[in-house]
Amino acid sequence: MMEREEFSELAEVHHRELLVYARALTREDATSRDIVQDSFVAAWHNKDKFDITKDFATWMRGIVRNKWRDSLRKNKRLVPLEDEILETIDAEMGDWQTARSDGGPSVFMKLEQCLAKLPVSMLEAVKSFYYEGNSSDEVASILNVGSSTVRKRLERARSGLKECLNK
């Protein structure tokens, strides 16, 4: 049986990855946060059913996936993903989590390190566009630059991040 402290540690380790997974499923930040929170609550209530010989991350992805399906049934404006896309997302998340558990830094830790190496102007554009969900015109307005400048900064940032992550 899993104790509170052990569950808390596992939740902390896997929280960010589950948010990314839920975001890939929902394509909405608020909905993905709600689904992950509901999933951890469900997991805690069902912790006695968890087989400790199994992978916690895989179990949690299953719960997140089920909560996402529940949200699809309740909210008809949400669009379900095709099975092939869902399988691809599951496989990629599993690969990331396996790489992390093998002792290498998680892709998220590497991404944070790479983001820290970007020039401030590119980092501001990335955060505003990708993290805050602003359009390129909105980012241009926020940063007081032209839309073409924002697009170029994002292009250069993506290129730099790709290069950094591949090292």
In whole angstroms, what is the distance from residue 37 CA to residue 43 CA?
Answer: 10
**Which CATH number does the domain 4-104 belong to among 3.90.550.10, 3.40.50.10310, 3.40.50.720, 1.10.1740.10?**
1.10.1740.10
Task: Tell me how crowded residue 118 is: count the other CB atoms within 10 A of its CB.
Answer: 19
Confidence band (pLDDT; 50, 70, 90) for 107?
low
Q: With a threshold of 0.75, does the pTM exceed it?
A: no
Domain boundaries, the chain: 4-104, 109-166
Query: What does the pLDDT look like over 4-34, one tens digit per residue?
Result: 888 888 888 888 888 888 888 887 778 888 9
**Helix or strand or coil: residue 21?**
helix
The CATH architecture annotation of domain 109-166 reads Orthogonal Bundle (1.10)
In whole angstroms, what is the distance from residue 124 CA to residue 19 CA?
Answer: 22
pLDDT at 100: 58
Query: Residue 78: left (phi > 0), alpha (psi -120 to 50), or beta?
Result: beta
